[in-house]
């Protein structure tokens, strides 16, 4: 029995569906007209959300090689979980990020977790993180951060998530995940307990710890892993610390970054995506385009010196809103291996740092600038 009268909601939903169905039937010219109108309406409100209303993300058919987005993955990073009964604030934030990612439609091809799932590497913290991340609908790829590692040097992390270094191919793009937070032994000579070692590394400004490195062993592995790839092959590298030298005092730094960059030099385009810095951070060194991830736990201030020119800083976060400056996001990967980096802030309009922006050395597609600079 079909109901005689349709409810207002049903009518609205049917009209909406019909509208979308018609949209798909549009020829290219009419489509551009409609989408430009939508884009204009959105732009008039001062909003440029990276959702499907933006024409660049809806574009049908590739115009030139590398000009269209081939797939997306979502990201979540730096949750710094404590055990639930010590502090549940960070767990709540991670759950929010998982909800965000699960509500993406269409779903991303996979979800990348950028490291620092735990705050002090405790088994209970990592277990809690694993339990929350289990709710993700899309497959998970996860990287190590220093907070996950220095209590038991990765024993629990490996048991939960497997190898800290790996590579895989997805839709023609080669992905590499590195363990970039290896530190020279500073603890044995000082007779530190594992917990003292962990707490030392967990202090961002703690000068007793050593700089992060990828290390000779992984660099050899990386060379071999990339050996079979052509110079034009699209390549995305994940590292927890930025794979360049930004600010040593806070380990916004990888000590053997130059050596790693040398291995990546022969490729036409390389994208490096890193966690650790908890902020919008963009850099380009030659062929390598670097993008930082937002954290779910808290935002870091910008480094007092050495900021890359391409970085458009995010407006200084509001301390009275504990989730301001935090968030998660999406990465739209193009056929040439470069990406649109979409920062989905929880308390602000989203910001896209596009492939065009880094490709043009910051001349085109410039993201909105902050009104409150970082101190």
Partner 1 sequence: MPTRIRNVLLASVCVICAVVVWVAYDHSVAADCAAGAHLTSATGGKDLADAHMEQWKRTNPQRVKDWVAEEKERHAIMPPADNSHLLKGEQGESHSYGRFTERDILIWAREAEKMVVEGSRIFHDGDALGSTVAVSCDMCHPDGSNTHPETYPKFQTQLGRVVLLRDMINWCIENPVRGKRFEPDDAKMRALEAYIYAQRKGTPLEYGKH
- Residues of this chain that interact with partner 1 (CB under 8 A) are 82, 86-87, 89, 119, 200, 203-208, 249-250, 298-301, 304, 316, 318-320, 322, 372, 374-375
In the bound complex, what is the minimum distance in angstroms from residue 314's beta carbon to partner 1?
A: 13
Instruction: Using the minimum distance from each CB to partner 1, give the nearer residue, 139 or 319.
Output: 319
Nearer to partner 1, 234 or 299 (CB): 299
Of residues 245 and 248, the one with the C-beta less far from partner 1: 248
Whether residue 242 contacts residue 292, with contact meaning beta carbons closer than 8 Å, is answered with yes
CB count within 10 Å of CB 166 equals: 16
Cβ at position 207, least distance to partner 1 in Å: 6
- Closest approach of partner 1 to the CB of residue 208, in Å: 5
Q: Please identify, using beta-carbon distances, which residue of 55 and 301 lies nearer to partner 1.
A: 301
Q: Helix 216-226 vs helix 257-264: angle between axes, to the nearest 10 degrees? A: 10
Which of 206, 336, 356, 174 lies closest to 268 in space, CA to CA?
336
Nearest distance, CB of residue 205 and partner 1, angstroms? 4
Instruction: Supply the minimum distance, in Å, between the C-beta of residue 304 and partner 1.
Output: 7
> Where on the phi/psi map is residue 171: left (φ > 0), alpha (ψ -120 to 50), or beta?
left
Pairing of strands 339-345, 351-353: antiparallel
Q: Which is nearer to partner 1, 285 or 293 (CB)?
A: 293
- Tell me which residue of 286, 298, 292 sits closest to 341, measured CA to CA: 292
> Within 10 Å of residue 342's Cβ, how many Cβ atoms?
23
Q: Give the relative orientation of helices 89-102 and 123-133 as an angle to the nearest 10 degrees.
A: 20
Beta strands at 111-113 and 140-142: parallel, antiparallel or unpaired: parallel
Question: Shortest approach of partner 1 to residue 88 CB, angstroms?
Answer: 9
Inter-CA distances, 283 with 140, 170, 307, Å? 26, 24, 9
| Min CB(198)–partner 1 separation in Å | 13
Q: With beta carbons less than 8 A apart as the criterion, state whether 296 and 78 touch.
A: yes
């Amino acid at each position: 029995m079909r109901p005689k009268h349709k409810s207002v909601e049903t009518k609205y939903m049917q009209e909406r569906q019909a509208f979308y169905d018609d949209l798909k039937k549009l020829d290219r010219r009419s489509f551009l007209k409609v989408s430009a109108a939508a884009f204009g309406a959105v732009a008039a409100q001062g909003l440029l959300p990276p959702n499907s209303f933006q024409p660049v993300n809806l574009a049908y058919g590739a115009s030139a090689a590398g000009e269209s987005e081939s797939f997306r993955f979502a990201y979540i990073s730096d949750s710094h979980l404590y055990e639930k009964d010590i502090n549940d604030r960070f767990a709540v934030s991670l759950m929010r990020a998982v909800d965000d990612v699960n509500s993406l439609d269409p779903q991303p091809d996979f979800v990348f977790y950028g490291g620092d799932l735990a705050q002090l590497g405790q088994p209970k913290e990592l277990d809690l993180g694993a339990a929350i991340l289990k709710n993700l609908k899309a497959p998970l790829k996860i990287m190590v951060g220093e907070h996950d590692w220095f209590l038991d040097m990765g024993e629990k992390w490996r048991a939960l998530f497997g190898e800290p270094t790996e590579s895989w191919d997805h839709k023609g793009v080669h992905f590499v995940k590195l363990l970039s937070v290896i530190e020279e032994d500073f603890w044995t000579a000082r007779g530190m307990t594992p917990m003292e070692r962990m707490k030392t590394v967990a202090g961002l400004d703690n000068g007793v710890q050593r700089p992060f490195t990828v290390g000779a062993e992984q660099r050899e592995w990386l060379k071999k892993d990339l050996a079979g790839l052509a110079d034009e092959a699209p390549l995305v590298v994940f590292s927890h610390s930025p794979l360049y030298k930004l600010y040593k005092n806070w380990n916004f730094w990888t000590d053997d970054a130059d050596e790693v960059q040398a291995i990546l030099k022969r490729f036409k385009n390389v994208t490096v995506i890193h966690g650790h810095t908890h902020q919008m951070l963009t850099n380009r060194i030659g062929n390598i385009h670097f993008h930082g991830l937002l954290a779910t736990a808290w935002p870091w201030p910008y480094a007092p010196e050495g900021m890359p020119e391409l970085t458009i800083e995010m407006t200084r976060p509001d301390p009275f809103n504990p989730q301001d400056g935090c968030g998660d996001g999406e990465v739209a990967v193009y056929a040439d291996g470069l990406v649109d980096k979409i920062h989905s802030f929880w308390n602000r309009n989203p910001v896209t740092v596009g492939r065009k922006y880094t490709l043009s050395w910051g001349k085109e597609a410039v993201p909105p600038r902050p009104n409150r600079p970082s101190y």
